[in-house]
Amino acid sequence: MNLTELNRIATAMVAPGKGILAADESSGTIKKRFDAIGVESTEGNRRDYREMLFRSKEAMSQFISGVILYDETIWQDAKDGTPLVKLIEQSGAIPGIKVDEGTQALPMCPGELVTVGLDKLAERLKKYYERGARFAKWRAVIDIGSGIPSMTAISVNAHALARYAALCQAAQIVPIVEPEVLMDGDHDIDRCYEVTQRVLNKTFQELRVQRVALEGMVLKPNMAVSGKKCAKQASVEEVAEKTIRLLKACVPAAVPGIAFLSGGQSDEEATAHLNAMHKLGPLPWGLTFSYGRALQAAPQKAWLGKAENVAAGQSAFSHRARMNGLASKGEWQSSLEKKAA
């Protein structure tokens, strides 16, 4: 592997003022999103929707560093025959691909999941690289509940994440390592902190064991937040302070960057949290966003599956991308949201 090149791509993915668009919803997830706006989830509609995003000149060229694609999308062509991958490259962003194949129940661990997809991953990565993908994504899912997560679930998922990351680097692809501690549940922010700390420590232990070059990867973690059903929701300042403290304790400075998932936060919450973290002084790694829903909910509502709404959808996408771009430099203010509205 060429580590200099992997490091160059990883660094570009977390460039100041830019972040990653997660457009890798599985067919089931995008169907839910489309159902909510009354659009049938056909291959054509999915393509038209994503083409609208990738052709958003302002957002893509100024605020988006890379795009995570789903397997269907990476092979699709735009209406005029241009491969969607090419549209991303032409905007100056880097194409990436989600390579995990979802989760399965973890044997002997009731209520816990393990991510699958390592079989034949080496061959798939080769094809994706030829198609233009320069980074990949694998998501592990850790739930907090009564008696969980178990150390078994944390270990098994960390092991799979590291195996995936090593295979990516061998294929000259930058791995996004995504151990997501879910925010479902009624746990408080301190419980989230404690579980995320265990997950991150175990993940980096496995990455070292499997000889993954930390300089050639990007981490995609959850923030330290209260569970959705927790009666006491942590303030923006507390989320920022605890998340940064956690990351400084667990993430080696060799990692070029950290790109947060939004994980069910509202658009504005995800932006405000990222912004507040940048107020906490110099950080050892780049810190930005890799949002799916928090970048796309607004454009979906504006578009509604209608060709005449494409410009409105693009404008909504550009606004969210710009807000998060500002937040990734600590320059966002909530008054900027009101102006746009």
Question: Residue 340's pLDDT is what?
Answer: 64
Separation CA 177–CA 210 (nearest Å): 14
List active site positions.
178, 220
List the domain range (segments joined by +) for residue 303: 3-340
Separation CA 319–CA 2 (nearest Å): 37
Question: Residue 240's pLDDT is what?
Answer: 98
Number of domains in the chain: 1
- Check which CATH number belongs to the domain holding 210 and give it: 3.20.20.70
Separation CA 33–CA 98 (nearest Å): 18
Q: At what angle do helices 310-327 and 267-278 cross, to 10 degrees?
A: 30
| The model's pTM | 0.96
Tokens matching residue 68? 């995570």
Q: Do 30 and 41 form a contact (C-beta atoms < 8 A)? A: yes
Q: What is the pLDDT along the chain (341 residues), one digit of tens a residue?
A: 999 999 999 999 999 999 999 999 999 999 999 999 999 999 999 999 999 999 999 999 999 999 999 999 999 999 999 999 999 999 999 999 999 999 999 999 999 999 999 999 999 999 999 999 999 999 999 999 999 999 999 999 999 999 999 999 999 999 999 999 999 999 999 999 999 999 999 999 999 999 999 999 999 999 999 999 999 999 999 999 999 999 999 999 999 999 999 988 999 999 999 999 999 989 999 999 999 999 999 999 999 999 999 999 999 999 999 999 999 999 999 999 987 65
Would residue 113 be called left, alpha or beta, if left means φ above 0 and alpha means ψ between -120 and 50 degrees? Answer: beta
